[in-house]
Structure 1
Amino acid sequence: MTCRDDILAVARILARQSADGTFSSQEVVAALRARGTTHLDTTIRRHVASEMCRNAVGANAGKFHDLERVERGRFRLIEAAPKANL
């Protein structure tokens, strides 16, 4: 699995466990560490805060629209909108 796949898997769990559906990048790192990930902490944080975050700013920001920053250090999973039957 890719780093992104691993993050999405734990993000779904963390979002369900949180009262407001949000989580921090550190919670994602800790959850992946508990699963025995081989990804570096910095790689995980970069994916969460930049590459997977649709409202991030920077060179690789918003590459994937999986997460949304809702406040400093807190993110929410963006589920894909259901496809319309045409």
Structure 2
Amino acid sequence: MKQPSLREEIASLRAEVEQLRRSAPPPNPDSGSPESDGQPDDVHTLLSELGDLVQTMLDEAEESFTEHPVASVSAALALGIVIGRLTAK
């Protein structure tokens, strides 16, 4: 079975966040929470910005891996060895 690519996983996560955003009740202005006072840093805006930042990071990583495949595989191997040695009993 084929594993989903990073782009497919991010698209899936974005769809889930959008679904959660649509299903969330509207903020209550009388609740006194910081999200409900009309400031631009409400939860929905922050989630949208986070999704955009993650997408940008993944695009840059994919571009870097495409331009330097040997270095990417070598770095992943070295990181795996280091993590393996640190977690070995």
Q: Which structure ranks higher in relative contact order (CA pairs < 8 Å, sequence separation ≥ 6)?
A: 1
- Whichever of the two has the greater Rg, that structure is 2
Please state which structure has a larger fraction of its residues in strand.
1
Alignment TM-score, normalising by the size of structure 1 = 0.31
